[in-house]
């Protein structure tokens, strides 16, 4: 709410993908439109995360914790909330995992693998470093079922299709060079730490690290009582979390907003963890996270 009533909805467009630049141009400088679009996008992502958890029974009890925790983590600081390219790309990565987790059903596997690549291609057009999720998606599928080399070809074709279609469109309007100048150039670097982190940033890093460690420590607890397919899917989320940490080291201009990479897999793992905790302790922990988010909303 504090961000919604601010006059300026500042978006850091540095190293954003080509489709992010085009979207920013389409939305223009109307801050109310940008804010409303951002809120509905985050709600859509939370709903899809809950759908992912429900369809694949990733938690022992059916709940909306995953989506709630995703929104809570993205609300812990005003630096996360604006319509950054990472948030735009997250939508397609969530959709990718819906297709990755279908791989245990042995139905339309060739189409699902193509869709995995397609979602990664779309995500990378909004934020290019998300191309690394192609490797994460393939590793997830390898872990879930018997894998064939032709599946890699299908996934690569899926990645290339949105690039081919976009290149065709921008070529028609004589903007083909935008793919290099606005999209690929300088999008990735190794440990590109240029931003001075404030005390609030260190607190956030500490909270995220603590959640990660507790999730790892409790992984055996919330994996018991579920079938082998669900256990494998939870393991894929841990692979995703590790891959997201690697992504933080590979993206250009690594800063506090890079924690957005972790929010999706961490929200699902946190939901599973919360359901295994003592209810009173879980309520206290949730209350503390909520208070921290509210306090950080008003500390500039």
Let me know: does 234 contact 34? Beta carbons within 8 Å: no
**Number of residues assigned to the chain:** 300
Residue among 124, 62, 66 at smallest CA distance from 96? 124
The pLDDT of 211-216, averaged and rounded, is 81
Inside any domain, residue 196: yes
Q: Which pLDDT does position 249 carry in this prediction?
A: 85
- Identify the DSSP state of 126: H
Q: Which pLDDT does position 290 carry in this prediction?
A: 85
Q: Which pLDDT does position 34 carry in this prediction?
A: 82
Q: Note if the pTM is more than 0.75.
A: yes
List the domain range (segments joined by +) for residue 203: 18-297
Q: Which pLDDT does position 280 carry in this prediction?
A: 83
Kindly give the interhelix angle for 279-297 and 199-217, rounded to the nearest 10 degrees: 160
Inside any domain, residue 178: yes
Three-point CA angle 205, 298, 268, nearest 5°: 40
Inside any domain, residue 8: no
pLDDT tens-digit series, residues 221-266: 766 666 788 888 888 898 898 888 888 888 877 888 888 888 899 8
Q: Which of 17-31, 75-89, 169-183, 211-225 is predicted with the least confidence, judged by mean pLDDT? A: 211-225
Q: Which pLDDT does position 8 carry in this prediction?
A: 64
Torsion (CA) 126, 132, 134, 140 in degrees, nearest 10: -130
Inside any domain, residue 11: no
Could you give the number of structural domains in the chain? 1
- Identify the DSSP state of 129: G
pLDDT tens-digit series, residues 60-93: 778 888 999 999 888 887 778 778 888 999 999 9
Is the pLDDT assigned to residue 184 strictly greater than 90?
Answer: no
How does residue 7 score in pLDDT terms, banded at 50, 70 and 90? Answer: low
The pLDDT of 206-235, averaged and rounded, is 79
What is the full DSSP assignment across 232-290? HHHHHHHHHHHHHHHHHHHBSSB-GGGGHHHHHHHHHHHHHHHHHS-HHHHHHHHHHHH
pLDDT tens-digit series, residues 123-167: 999 998 899 999 999 998 888 887 888 888 999 999 999 999 988
């Amino acid at each position: 709410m504090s961000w919604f009533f601010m006059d300026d909805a500042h978006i850091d467009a540095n190293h954003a993908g080509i489709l992010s630049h085009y979207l920013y141009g389409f939305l223009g400088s109307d801050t109310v439109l940008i804010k409303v679009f951002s809120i509905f996008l985050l709600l859509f992502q939370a709903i899809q995360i809950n759908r992912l958890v429900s369809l694949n029974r990733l938690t022992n009890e059916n709940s909306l914790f995953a989506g709630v925790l995703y929104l809570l983590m993205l609300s812990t600081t005003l630096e996360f909330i604006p319509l950054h390219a990472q948030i735009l790309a997250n939508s397609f990565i969530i959709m990718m995992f819906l297709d990755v987790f279908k791989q245990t059903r042995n139905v339309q596997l060739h189409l699902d693998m193509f869709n995995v690549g397609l979602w990664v291609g779309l995500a990378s057009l909004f934020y290019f470093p998300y191309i690394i999720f192609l490797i994460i998606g393939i590793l997830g599928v390898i872990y879930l079922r018997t894998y064939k080399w032709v599946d890699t070809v299908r996934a690569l074709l899926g990645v290339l299709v949105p690039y081919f279609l976009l290149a065709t469109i921008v070529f028609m309007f004589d903007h083909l060079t935008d793919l290099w100048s606005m999209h690929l150039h300088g999008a990735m670097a190794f440990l590109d730490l240029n931003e001075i982190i404030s005390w609030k940033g260190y607190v956030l890093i500490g909270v995220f690290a603590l959640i990660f460690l507790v999730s790892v420590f409790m992984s055996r607890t919330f994996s018991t009582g579920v079938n082998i397919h669900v256990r494998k899917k939870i393991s894929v989320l841990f692979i995703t979390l590790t891959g997201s940490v690697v992504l933080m080291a590979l993206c250009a201009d690594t800063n506090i907003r890079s924690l957005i990479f972790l929010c999706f897999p961490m929200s699902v793992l946190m939901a599973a963890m919360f359901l295994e905790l003592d209810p009173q302790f879980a309520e206290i922990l949730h209350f503390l996270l909520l208070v921290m988010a509210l306090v950080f909303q008003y500390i500039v």
